[in-house]
Structure 1
């Protein structure tokens, strides 16, 4: 009987918590600007990015956000991927950046769109995308499976914020 009462109590608390979470996601009950964002689907024009200020990446015709970045002083073309846990470099990009890919320790297994691959952890001294620059960014070098390097969450997650609109991705360092 006590087990049943405890389970009922846990269920009730969970239901109340879930209801509160749903209410907090309702744009009509939020006062933090989400209501305005939901009501207006037309993005506002963004100013040109200043060094260290807000940066904007235009959405490409294929529907993706492609970013030209500067990594350790060299140019790298990234596919912005919020589903990627880390910045992921192709072997070719890693070699251009000066990493000896033959000597890296590929001790991690990762899943890519093309299947499983091996990855090596590296540290990037600096990553700058449209003026949003970060130092000491963790990244992975994949031995295969990537058609383009990915700008993942080890970069994006360190920004103050990032926002995807219908036409651009806004990065706030």
Structure 2
């Protein structure tokens, strides 16, 4: 399963690299994508609704083990992928991890370590005991992949928003 997850992360990270290349060629008036994530709202039926960002991607601020992490939502990523910076902010000892999985990022080949997150929540859509990987180098933005999304009761992409139901 972890080999499959590693292969899927390679594809997802390649897609993120391609998306970053397209965004960098976009109009110079484009908003700074490193700023705060678009606000997630809770709909009348209790579903979390994430508005599509100006770059065409879905960005979310999630609570991971009680701490805020900005994610690019990536349905092509098998697992949640954490950058070194986000992993450290979550209190993960990144130097003590076993980086035994090889992955390819936009910056080239690197390694990843498997971790378990106690909880991940986006606007109330919470999942407990989420499998994730910490990427050793080359991942600037953490990815919210299918190890979270696939455990929701449903998620739906519309032309303007992503709707998450826990």
- Give the structure-2-normalised TM-score: 0.72
Distance 2:78 2:104 in 1: 11
- Asked which structure has the greater CA Rg, the reply is 1
Aligned to 1:135: 128
Cα deviation, residue 115, structure 1: 2.9
Aligned to 1:119: 112
**Aligned-residue CA RMSD in angstroms?**
1.6
**Given the alignment, which residue of 37, 52, 64 partners 1:59?**
52
- The DSSP-based 3-state class of the residue aligned with 1:163 is strand
Distance 1:48 1:134 in 2: 16
- The DSSP-based 3-state class of the residue aligned with 1:95 is helix
**Given the alignment, which residue of 43, 48, 59 partners 2:42?**
48
In structure 1, the gaps of 5 or more residues are: 1-46
Deviations 1:61-88 (A, max 9, x none): 0000000000011100000001111000
- Give the structure-1-normalised TM-score: 0.69
Distance 2:92 2:143 in 1: 17
Contact 2:42 2:123 in 1 (8 A): no
Contact 1:49 1:130 in 2 (8 A): no
Distance 1:49 1:115 in 2: 40
- The DSSP-based 3-state class of the residue aligned with 1:94 is helix
Distance 1:170 1:114 in 2: 31
How many aligned residue pairs are there? 126
Distance 2:146 2:111 in 1: 19
